[in-house]
Amino acid sequence: MQEWASQLCENRQFGSKMTDSKYFTTTKKGEIFELKAELNSDKKEKKKEAVKKVIASMTVGKDVSALFPDVVNCMQTDNLELKKLVYLYLMNYAKSQPDMAIMAVNTFVKDCEDPNPLIRALAVRTMGCIRVDKITEYLCEPLRKCLKDEDPYVRKTAAVCVAKLHDINAQLVEDQGFLDTLKDLISDSNPMVVANAVAALSEIAESHPNSNLLDLNPQTINKLLTALNECTEWGQIFILDCLANYTPRDDRESQSICERVTPRLSHANSAVVLSAVKVLMKFMEMLPKDLDYYGTLLKKLAPPLVTLLSAEPELQYVALRNINLIVQRRPEILKHEMKVFFVKYNDPIYVKLEKLDIMIRLASQANIAQVLAELKEYATEVDVDFVRKAVRAIGRCAIKVEQSAERCVSTLLDLIQTKVNYVVQEAIVVIKDIFRKYPNKYESVIATLCENLDSLDEPEARAAMIWIVGEYAERIDNADELLESFLEGFHDESTQVQLQLLTAIVKLFLKKPTETQELVQQVLSLATQDSDNPDLRDRGYIYWRLLSTDPVAAKEVVLAEKPLISEETDLIEPTLLEELICHIGTLASVYHKPPSAFVEGSRGVQHKRLPGSAGSGESVESPDTVSAAGVSDAPPAVIPSQGDLLGDLLNLDLTPPATTGPPPPATSGMQLGAMDLLGGGLDSLLGGDLGGSSAMGAGFGAPPAATAASFTAPVSGGLDDLFDLGGGVGMPMGAYSPPKTVWLPAMKGKGLEISGTFSRRAGVIQMEMTLTNKAMSVMTDFAIQFNRNSFGLAPAGPLQVLTPLSPNQSIDVTLPLNTVGPVMKMDPLNNLQVAVKNNIDVFYFSCQYPISILFVEDGKMERQVFLATWKDIPNDNEAQFQIKDCHLSSDAASNKLQGSNIFTIAKRTVDGQDMLYQSTKLSNGIWVLAELRVQTGNPNFTVCLKCRAPEVSQCVFQSYEAVLKN
């Protein structure tokens, strides 16, 4: 519609003396017949008027397709205005009338050779817009001529036409060699032709990410930079976006490009400015920070960003969203520009909130006084959302700039005294965070907070206040009364408040056991018996069980020292931030989401990274290609050949990995009624001692038997782990897990010692580690990453070390693994190279996992399938091994192996020798068939293994030996 309107507007420059609005006002009946007659008139003027009426009817939605042959007949004209109108009609109706549209082909071919370049360009532009397969093949020859036309206007139009044609029929474009012609146009003498060629190639490359169409090299980059100075603003944007996809060879080339792009920062078009900023932000990653030019570039980046904030509000918002990303990556760029982010009274709310966010990010000791004065002013505004965000911002300042904390708390108390309901509630929420950040420093304000208890009606504020009362119960004389007042309407509270109230009352009970027995019994009963919420019920049961079995442990768990909260809780995760920086000036930078999150399908979505942290630049295999490697009916090409492993490992990105692939299979539940989950309620506390107090009163009954009997817990990772119930029911009987060995000695780990083993429990592969701190300093910020390995082993989540590791302290960590990571053949096959990061350094070590952890639960083959597969696998793939000193019967051996997912299909006895036929299946789909021979009285077993991937046989034999001999 916009294209039609713009074309109509364009027509005015060709002599329309009067307004064209009259064409849209007719409501006559039988109009089609009249138009048909006018279109076939001999008078040119009448013909033109008729076509205008047709276009007007088409624009307002009337169906004028019946006039197709009559309008097409009007193409044979020298009048450029009339030709434009006919082409416009043709673009719209060619799809619904493909057979008629072929009539126009000859005219296109003829127009592409017209002496007037405007007509040649018009013909080629229209050709690209007619999305009819039947016609496209006729248009190849005219397009080829136009791509080599002497007039740059025609060439630039033809370049865009190639991209449109590629969208309709990609194979045709490749076969006709148009892509090579398009690449040649990058060297064109006209900058607009270069820009359009780049735009067309970029669009085609986006839909075919692996095509390497834009083969950027220093020579090409030089041509693009030359064209950059002379083409139009939108051409500049295409070129800058293309430059942003280039990775310079070294810092010198990077600096050279930056110097030539910098003048674009002063452009009047904000899109050009943001595209230039994107290029500079990317290439700055390669510049050494001690370089003089680096500092100069930082200074040059600030003014254009500031200038963007003087535009209209919508542009300001886009600029602010981009600045938010830039400030997170390089706060030094705008550290002296705080004042431009101060809120103006007439700013729309969406601009105000963005400015506030950036103010907090730029807050530092140098400007905190100025910022706080502004924020206090904002807190008295009339806009409720803005006031809430301002109060929250004061709290964030306190957490970020320690020197300002006291002043921030004082400001918050002043705001609480205003008694404005929503101000008080926001203040209480942020004061809770300040208590977490600075324990035992500002608790004197609790009395003031308690005075406002009755005015709290928002869940977050109520939850924050309950947390404060529970956490500092020993300092509040009437803490039990305060919490009891919340308990009266327990079922009407939100889940957030209910959970907080449950925890707070348990804390209170552990601190003042004699006074709060009834209160804790009441809340546990409400949470476990009267609640439908599984989270609340589970937490209630955990607390009840803890209190009833081990009060001292309960105290250690519930009243444990809490880690300090971080300064910036809302920073974008680093890898996502890098990707968003590469998308500055696009929708991704406004949404703060990667394109894959809002672009439908995978087409056109490429994950981009900044050059400084892009690793080795090798592509990571997708999980699909990995898992496809082991389909059982085709001979599995187990694993790609080994490359530079050390290089790969050193280039690992050690940010906590996102969970990849499907979650681990859900573990089956078991009924715990028979073992009395709650162990007689809290009766065991009667004579117990809880941290020196023997005054835990009597009278706590167990929850009703029905509740206990119906309560289920997961076999692994749930309550039975916590309380050591069930005796390892989740692990199949006899499942073998090797003892822990030292993987990283303290000498190599700068005081960090890591020992560990691998296991498979209930279908989930686990890496069990003990981390020991033998250094003199606290260790924090642990993360783990695996190098590519033979079976795609990868962490299924981040390394969960939730508390700092103090000197001489050890901690046991279980890391769930999956097998959807990148694959590369290792030597030996079961070798795993690991990188572990903490606040001190990154450490590398290798370990070997038993291949039995990859044996899956559905590895039992049908007898007939086993027989057919055994015959089908070549005899060359058979390997025979001896297992010595194994004093087991064949049945005992079979049971033991089944615990590790090696299944016996059949058994037969020949001359006193038992023959067990067994199958097992690896996680990547490789089947291993075995014949185990056990001679009565002979401690030496023979095992024959057959497999389509014989390289795994040695590892499988090692697992047989380990399982049977341990």
Confidence of residue 125 (pLDDT cuts 50, 70, 90): confident
Beta bridge partners of 752: 773
Residues 6+ apart with CB under 8 A from 964: 883, 886, 888, 893, 896, 897, 941
pLDDT at 834 over 90: yes
Quote the CA–CA distance of 677 and 719 in Å, as a whole number: 9
Distances (CA, A) of 246 to 596, 605, 923: 21, 17, 39
Higher pLDDT, 718 or 428: 428
Task: Look up residue 609 and give its DSSP letter.
Answer: -
Encoded amino acid at 315, one letter = L
Range name among 56-60, 841-845, 923-927 with the lowest pLDDT average: 56-60
Quote the CA–CA distance of 479 and 484 in Å, as a whole number: 8
pTM more than 0.75 = no
The whole-number pLDDT of residue 24 equals 55
The values of phi and psi at residue 899, to 5°, are -60, -25
End-to-end CA distance of the chain: 77
pLDDT at 222 over 80: yes
Q: Do residues 899 and 732 touch, judged by C-beta distance below 8 A?
A: yes
pLDDT at 116 over 80: yes
Confidence of residue 506 (pLDDT cuts 50, 70, 90): very high
Confidence of residue 315 (pLDDT cuts 50, 70, 90): very high
Q: Do residues 79 and 116 touch, judged by C-beta distance below 8 A?
A: no
Task: Tell me the per-residue pLDDT of 468-501, one tens digit each, with 9 for 90 and over.
Answer: 888 888 888 788 888 888 888 888 888 899 999 9
Residues 6+ apart with CB under 8 A from 952: 638, 829, 851, 922, 926, 928
Among positive and negative, which fits the CA dihedral 172, 174, 178, 179? Answer: positive
> β-pairing, 794-795 with 810-818?
antiparallel
Task: Look up residue 781 and give its DSSP letter.
Answer: -
Written as six digits, the tokens of 200 are: 């067309």
Encoded amino acid at 789, one letter = N
Higher pLDDT, 931 or 207: 931
The whole-number pLDDT of residue 74 equals 77
Range name among 128-142, 486-500, 587-601 with the lowest pLDDT average: 128-142
Cβ atoms within 10 A of the Cβ of 831, count? Answer: 17
Range name among 256-265, 655-664, 763-772 with the lowest pLDDT average: 655-664
Q: Do residues 669 and 713 touch, judged by C-beta distance below 8 A?
A: yes
Task: Look up residue 685 and give its DSSP letter.
Answer: G
List the alpha helices (DSSP H) in 804-952: 863-872, 890-898
Range name among 172-176, 417-421, 471-475, 566-570 with the lowest pLDDT average: 566-570
Angle at 123 between CA 120 and CA 129, to 5 degrees: 145
Confidence of residue 320 (pLDDT cuts 50, 70, 90): very high
Detail the DSSP E strand segments found in 387-481. none
The whole-number pLDDT of residue 695 equals 37
pLDDT at 195 over 50: yes
Confidence of residue 351 (pLDDT cuts 50, 70, 90): very high
Task: Tell me the per-residue pLDDT of 522-548, one tens digit each, with 9 for 90 and over.
Answer: 889 888 888 888 999 999 999 988 888
The whole-number pLDDT of residue 849 equals 92
In this prediction, residues 247-255 reach a mean pLDDT of 86
Range name among 268-282, 401-415, 568-582 with the lowest pLDDT average: 568-582
Angle between helical axes of 368-378 and 384-400 (0-180°, round to 10): 160
Tokens 């803005």 appear where? 386
Among positive and negative, which fits the CA dihedral 418, 423, 424, 430? Answer: negative
The whole-number pLDDT of residue 23 equals 57
pLDDT at 682 over 50: no
127: left (phi over 0), alpha (psi -120 to 50) or beta: alpha
Share above pLDDT 70 across residues of the chain, in percent, rounded to a whole number: 82
Quote the CA–CA distance of 279 and 245 in Å, as a whole number: 9
List the alpha helices (DSSP H) in 645-797: 645-650, 705-710, 719-723
Task: Tell me the per-residue pLDDT of 740-760, one tens digit each, with 9 for 90 and over.
Answer: 999 999 888 888 999 999 999
Share above pLDDT 90 across residues of the chain, in percent, rounded to a whole number: 13
Tokens 């064109």 appear where? 188
> β-pairing, 810-818 with 831-837?
unpaired
Length in residues, the chain:
966
pLDDT at 217 over 50: yes
The values of phi and psi at residue 555, to 5°, are -65, -40
Cβ atoms within 10 A of the Cβ of 244, count? Answer: 22
Encoded amino acid at 23, one letter = Y
Task: Look up residue 665 and give its DSSP letter.
Answer: P
Task: Tell me the per-residue pLDDT of 838-888, one tens digit each, with 9 for 90 and over.
Answer: 988 899 999 999 989 899 988 888 888 888 888 888 888 888 898 888 888
Cβ atoms within 10 A of the Cβ of 832, count? Answer: 20
Angle between helical axes of 574-581 and 270-284 (0-180°, round to 10): 130
Task: Tell me the per-residue pLDDT of 764-815, one tens digit each, with 9 for 90 and over.
Answer: 999 999 999 988 888 998 999 999 898 999 999 898 888 899 888 999 999 9
- Per-position DSSP letters for 898-909, written without gaps between them: HTTT-EEEEEEE
In this prediction, residues 587-606 reach a mean pLDDT of 76
Quote the CA–CA distance of 765 and 818 in Å, as a whole number: 7
- Please provide the average confidence, as pLDDT, over all residues in the chain: 78
Written as six digits, the tokens of 294 are: 């680096």
Encoded amino acid at 182, one letter = L
pLDDT at 16 over 70: no
Q: Do residues 149 and 120 touch, judged by C-beta distance below 8 A?
A: yes
553-579 CB burial, b ≥16 within 10 A, e <16: ebbeebeeeeeeeeeeeeebeebbbbb
In this prediction, residues 929-943 reach a mean pLDDT of 88
Residues 6+ apart with CB under 8 A from 86: 51, 71, 72, 74, 75, 77
**Half-sphere exposure for 638 (CA within 13 Å, toward CB):** 21
Quote the CA–CA distance of 478 and 467 in Å, as a whole number: 15
Q: Do residues 827 and 643 touch, judged by C-beta distance below 8 A?
A: no
Detail the DSSP E strand segments found in 14-76. none
Which of helix, strand or coil describes residue 654? coil
Quote the CA–CA distance of 854 and 851 in Å, as a whole number: 6
pLDDT at 942 over 70: yes
Q: Do residues 178 and 143 touch, judged by C-beta distance below 8 A?
A: yes
> β-pairing, 741-744 with 794-795?
unpaired
